Structure 1
Amino acid sequence: MKNINLKYRGKNKSTNILSFKFDLFINKNQTLLGDLVLCKKIIEKESLKYQKTLESRWAHMIIHGTLHLLGYDHKNKKEKKIMEKIENKIMLFLNYEKPYFMKSS
Structure 2
Amino acid sequence: MRILCSSEIEKNSRIMDIFTKAASLCMEGEGLSPINAEISLSFVSQEEIQRLNKMYRNIDNYTDVLSFPMIEDFNLIHDGEEILLGDVVICTEQAKRQAEEYGHCEEREFVYLFVHSVLHLLGYDHMNEQEKADMRKREEEIMSELGLERKMK
Q: Normalization by structure 1: what TM-score?
A: 0.87
Aligned to 1:103: none
Aligned to 2:139: 87
Higher RCO (C-alpha 8 Å, min separation 6): 2
Structure 1 residues 29-81: Cα deviation after superposition (integer angstroms, max 9, x where no partner)? 42010000110000000000011111100110000000000000011101000
Within 2, Cα distance between the matches of 1:34 and 1:85? Answer: 22
Aligned to 2:70: 22
- Mark the runs of 5 or more structure 1 residues left unpaired by the alignment: 101-105
Q: How does 1:35-54 map to 2 (within 5 A)?
A: 35-54=87-106
Total equivalences in the alignment: 99
- Mark the runs of 5 or more structure 2 residues left unpaired by the alignment: 1-48
The answer as to 2:132 corresponding to 1:97 is: no
Q: Which amino acid aligns with 1:65?
A: S
Aligned to 2:113: 61
Aligned-pair identity (%): 34
Preserved CA contact (<8 Å) 1:88 1:99: no
Aligned to 2:129: 77
Within 1, Cα distance between the matches of 2:146 and 2:136? Answer: 15
Q: Normalization by structure 2: what TM-score?
A: 0.61
The answer as to 2:52 corresponding to 1:7 is: no
Within 2, Cα distance between the matches of 1:96 and 1:89? Answer: 10
Within 2, Cα distance between the matches of 1:39 and 1:91? Answer: 20
User: SS where residue 61 of structure 2 aligns?
Assistant: coil
